[in-house]
Amino acid sequence: MRRARLLSITADRLFDHLMSHPELTPDQIDDLARKWFAEALRDEEDFRLSAQSGKALYVWPRAGEDPVDADLELLSELEADYREAIACNQFSKVARDVECLLGEAGRSAEPGSDVYKRLCLALLRANIELFRISKARRVGDYSLEPIDPLFRRQSASVSSMMPEPGDQRAKSLPLGDVLEAYEVAQVRDGKWQPTTRRNAIGKLRLFVETLDGKPIDTVTRDDIRGWREVLEEGERSNNTIRHHFKVVAALFNWAKQEGKATIDNPTVGLMPPADAPKRDAFSADELRRLFHSPLYTGHWRADRRERPGSVLVKDYKYWFPLISLHTGMRVEEIAKLRVADVRMEDGVWCFDILKSKTKAGERLVPIHPRLIDLGFLEHVKAIKHERLWPELKPNSEGSHSHRFAVWFPGYLRMIGLEREGVVFHSFRHTFVSRLEEAGVDTARIGRIVGHKINGITAGTYGGKLFTPSKRLECFKDLDFGVDLTHLMGR
């Protein structure tokens, strides 16, 4: 235990040391990979100790299959997959871990740069060693040591280092403190009128929350890109996102001018164009890959859903994509649902959308039969709370979907779904596209998904005439291009 604490302390000092250098050297990249490997081994051991005796650790065994054999087969497959990834220079499997390591070290690296590729390669090698050692430990053999030279005798290489003290970036003011000082100064100097203050402060608080209030001098351009993705997932227009950028850019400019920060404005050049963002429907292959990913087939832990395992948590992360694909609902509409909003109307189970982005969005949305077959109503009955997703709290802007919007883009990247224009809103595009292909007219689609419709047609299909049962008839037989039979009964 003492050795583990020592390794953790020296590794943390190593991070401070790394932060004092403008560009990662090959040796520093190797040290980051060694730190990741040491932590992964510890996490693996903690998970092994908490697992249920006599059960498979990482996978659901086939009928009659020995649980140990099932685990060994999965670990061997993973080891082979990561070796193939090295052979093909496919780095998406470790992209999320690379981003986390760089972020913790206060660094950034453009995908495709030598630094980024070197770190990806090192983490692919670390995973191969992790899977190889995990196989040995799964059968009780703790004598196996790393054979990859990068990780051999790791403890000596890490603990013997004499890192220099870190620079002052990590000790700079937290974003929340900078925001407080900025608000006071803007009001004191007469630059913010009440309306300006009201409009700006919510956007700034959202930015601070998204970056977890990190020290201002450690904010990177990758942090800004991640924040931009969160804004896009919230279905904001590009013009609205640009306004968020202008408000945050003003904060950074002020902070440097007033000596609250030393970094240059990290938002420069990252503001989206004024035209509408590109949002595409999912392809059938992309849907298959998503719904056959560990989020739906079994993951390692609730906080590591990109890695295969025997855990299957059916919370908001599990249900949001399924609901949006089968109903076309917006992410915030799903996030705000109460248990009472799932009710029977006209002999059909529906979502009662009481508050939406627009007045037209307030509607009854029939629940697709496949959602019921997947166990959604049982999930609703099991919730002992007014809200359907009680773990989702509103952020400073009142958004209940913020936590999911921060997580989902990263998960798509981790499973290799990185095509431009593919975001959560793509489920809504997919739903609409499939209804159009099925010959459902635009007015009826508009009523189902909550689009504003003008003219006589809207009146014909509006109100009580277009009942929930008639709405359900429009899409109840659609499978949206993806087979989900593997999720039934799980």
User: Does residue 183 share a domain with residue 159?
Assistant: no
pTM of the model: 0.59
pLDDT at 44 over 50: yes
- Please check whether residue 191 lies inside any domain of the structure: yes
Of 368, 375, 340, residue with least CA distance to 354: 340
207-220 residues labelled b (16+ CB within 10 A) or e (exposed)? bbbbbeebbbbbbb
CA-closest candidate to residue 352, choices 361, 340, 364: 364
Task: Note whether 345 and 236 are same-domain residues.
Answer: no
Residues 241 and 311 occupy one common structural domain? no
- Least confident segment among 161-175, 195-209, 385-399: 161-175
243 and 318: one domain?
no
Q: In the prediction, which pLDDT does 23 show?
A: 67
Say which CATH number the domain at 321 has.
1.10.443
In this structure, what CATH number is given to the domain that contains residue 181? Answer: 1.10.150
What local confidence, expressed as pLDDT, does residue 275 receive? 66
At residue 6 the predicted structure's pLDDT band, cuts being 50, 70 and 90, is very low
Task: Answer yes or no: is 275 within a domain.
Answer: no
Q: Do residue 188 and residue 247 come from a single domain?
A: yes
Could you tell me if 381 and 471 lie in one domain? yes
Domain annotation covers residue 303:
yes
- Within a domain: 276: no
In a domain, 220, yes or no: yes
At which of 149, 167, 185 does a domain end? 167
User: Is residue 61 domain-shared with residue 143, that is, in the same domain?
Assistant: yes
- Say whether pLDDT at 8 is over 50: no
Residue 22 has pLDDT above 70, yes or no: no
Domain end position, chosen among 188, 222, 257: 257
Of 165 and 127, the one with more pLDDT:
127
Of 125-134, 268-277, 373-382, the poorest mean pLDDT is in 268-277
Task: Specify which of 43-57, 223-237, 375-389, 417-431 reaches the highest per-range mean pLDDT.
Answer: 375-389
pLDDT in the model for residue 292: 93
Mean pLDDT of 204-232: 90
What pLDDT sits at residue 99? 81
Residue 389 has pLDDT above 90, yes or no: yes
Residue 476 has a CB neighbour count (10 Å cut-off) of 15
Whether residues 249 and 317 fall in one domain: no
Residue 234 shares a structural domain with residue 381: no
- Mean pLDDT for the chain overall: 83
Residues 240 and 292 in one domain: no
pLDDT at 251 over 90: yes
Condensed to tens digits (0 to 9), the pLDDT of residues 290-337 reads 999 999 999 888 888 888 888 899 999 999 999 999 999 999 999 999
Check if the beta carbon of residue 264 is closer than 8 Å to that of residue 409. no
Residues 209 and 136 in one domain: no
Whether residue 46 lies inside any domain: the answer is yes
pLDDT band for 362, please (50, 70, 90 cuts). Answer: confident
What's the token pair of residue 304?
A: 């590591």
- Cα separation of 431 and 323, whole Å? 11
Q: What is the pLDDT of residue 244?
A: 94
372, 424: one domain: yes
Domain range for 203 is: 173-257
Contacts of the segment 132-135: beta carbons below 8 A, 24+ positions apart:
132/79, 133/41, 134/44, 134/75, 135/72, 135/75, 135/76, 135/79
Predicted local distance difference test score (pLDDT) of residue 164: 41
pLDDT digits (tens, 9 = 90+) for 428-483: 999 999 999 999 988 899 889 886 655 433 333 445 578 899 999 999 999 999 99
What is the average pLDDT across 192-204? 87
Distance from the first to the final alpha carbon of the chain: 38
pLDDT at 67 over 50: yes
- How many distinct structural domains can be found in the chain? 3
The answer to the question of residue 121 being in a domain is yes
Give the per-residue pLDDT at 458: 39
Q: How confident is the model at residue 9, as a pLDDT?
A: 42
Domain stop point among 148, 167, 186: 167
Alpha carbon 411 to chain centroid distance? Answer: 4
Q: What is the pLDDT of residue 247?
A: 94
* Per-position DSSP letters for 374-420, written without gaps between them: TTHHHHHHH--SSBSSTT----TT--SSHHHHHHHHHHHHHTT---T
pLDDT score for 357:
55
Q: Judge whether 67 lies within some domain.
A: yes
